[in-house]
Structures are given as structure tokens and as C-alpha cells.
Amino acid sequence: MERGVHCLVEKPLALDRAQAQILIEAADSANVVLQVGHIERFNPAVRQLEICLEGEQVLVANARRMSGFSARVGDIDVVMDLMVHDLDVVLYLMGNQVEDTIAVGVDGAHGFDHVTALVSFEGGSMASLTASRITQNQIRKLEVTTKEDFYSVDYSNQELLIFRQGRVDNDGMVEGRYVLDVDTRRVFVRRTEPLVSELEHFVSVIRGDRENEVDGRQGLNALNLVWDIQEKLGRSTTTP
């Protein structure tokens, strides 16, 4: 970056806060692009969800990212390996004003392999996140509750569903004629390869065509939450 080279850094941005801050300041000083590879930001279902949520407050988010263990990531725990993806998306949708975190987990030979974290935000909103690498069935889902709607995102299938309870009278009837079931809507999502979209975004930012949506500071925000959860678990696999 000191030589004027724009950088796309795979997540996580750094191993500790000091390293992350050095990268952020180097990018600022050299006026180059520093983008962090939080690829789920570019999942088309997440992009469509963001559009649907315009003008709405997210009250509750529930994320599950679960699969079997892979030897390629035996040097970090499941929070840094898997949960960091959903932490970034939750911060993206709900903001960075985190008030508190609670975390419990199942420990393993390479750090915690199954973790559930509860994150509370200013204003009373909350997010529940579970990440596991000891689950045989692969799950990649995000559920979001607002005052009016319930949204369900399937990351793998790039699918977005909206559930809404219709308005009924005191007898549970609609116009006195029938009982309304939950209204389910499947939102059209134009499927794309998130990696391609991420690279296109990087090039567009370099050209000055758009703002950087996943810069170093946002990468550090996600890491700060990772480290906080690891601290609450009572064992950190990094040294922030």
C-alpha cells in the first residue's frame, strides 16, 4: 500500500488490533483502497434483503452457520473461522452500536468448535448467532425480524423469503369469511457468484465509481466482536 497498490485482503483483516490499525492507517496515508473479503456481503440474497429492509428497524437477527470439521482451519476456533461471516452481516444490517455479548461453546482440540453468541445493541435490538464445525448437516441461514415482517435468507441457495401475518379481526377472521394463514412471499433474487461481485466491487471502488462498502474499519469492527466473544468464552485463540 505504501507503494500505491490497492489491496483486497481475505478475512480476517489481521491477527490483532495493532496490525489492523497499521493496515488501516497505511491505506489512509497512501490514499489506496483497502477492502476486506467478507464475501457474504455480496451474496445476492443479502443484497436483496438490504433493499427490503430500507426504512425498517431490525429487531432480532438469528444466524446459523454449521458444517463438519475441516482440517484446513485447525489453527483457529469456529468464531474466527465461520461466525465472523455472520457477525459482519449482522453489523452491516443492524449497526455497530453493540452494548453487550454473551457466549457459550463446546471446546475441542483446535479451540471452540461449536459456539452460540447473543449480541445486544443500543435500542434493544439483539442478534443470536450459532456457528459449528461439528454438525454433519451444512446450514447457512439468516433470519431477520422487524415490526411487520420475518425474513429468511438461505445463503447457499441464494434464497429470500418474507413471512407476514395478515391483519385479522377479533375472531381471527378476515372480513368475517376465512382465517388467514401466514402470507409467504418468495422474493426474486438474481443469482450471481458472490466472489465475482466482490471483485467487481473492488475494481469499481478503485475507479472511483462507488464507495468502499467493506473497508478496513468495517473489517476491524467484525474482529472486535470476534475478540469480545472469544473473551466471553474464556479462551481467546488470538492475542488482540
Q: Which pTM does this prediction carry?
A: 0.87
Question: Which CA distances in Å does 94 have to 3, 37, 210?
Answer: 36, 20, 22
Segments forming the whole domain that contains residue 27: 7-233
Asked if the structure places residue 238 within a domain, the reply is no
Question: Quick one: cell of 14?
Answer: 489481521
Q: What is the pLDDT of residue 178?
A: 54
Asked if the structure places residue 23 within a domain, the reply is yes
Q: pLDDT (tens digit, 9 = 90+) per residue, 198-232?
A: 999 999 999 999 999 999 999 999 999 999 999 99
Asked if the structure places residue 151 within a domain, the reply is yes
Asked if the structure places residue 85 within a domain, the reply is yes
> What is the domain-level CATH number for residue 188?
3.30.360.10
Contact 32, 23 (CB under 8 A): no
Asked if the structure places residue 117 within a domain, the reply is yes
Q: pLDDT (tens digit, 9 = 90+) per residue, 32-77?
A: 999 999 999 999 999 999 999 998 999 999 999 999 877 666 678 8
Number of domains in the chain: 1
Asked if the structure places residue 94 within a domain, the reply is yes
Length of the chain: 240
Asked if the structure places residue 43 within a domain, the reply is yes
Asked if the structure places residue 1 within a domain, the reply is no
DSSP string, 117-144: EEEEETTS-EEEEEEESS-SS-EEEEEE
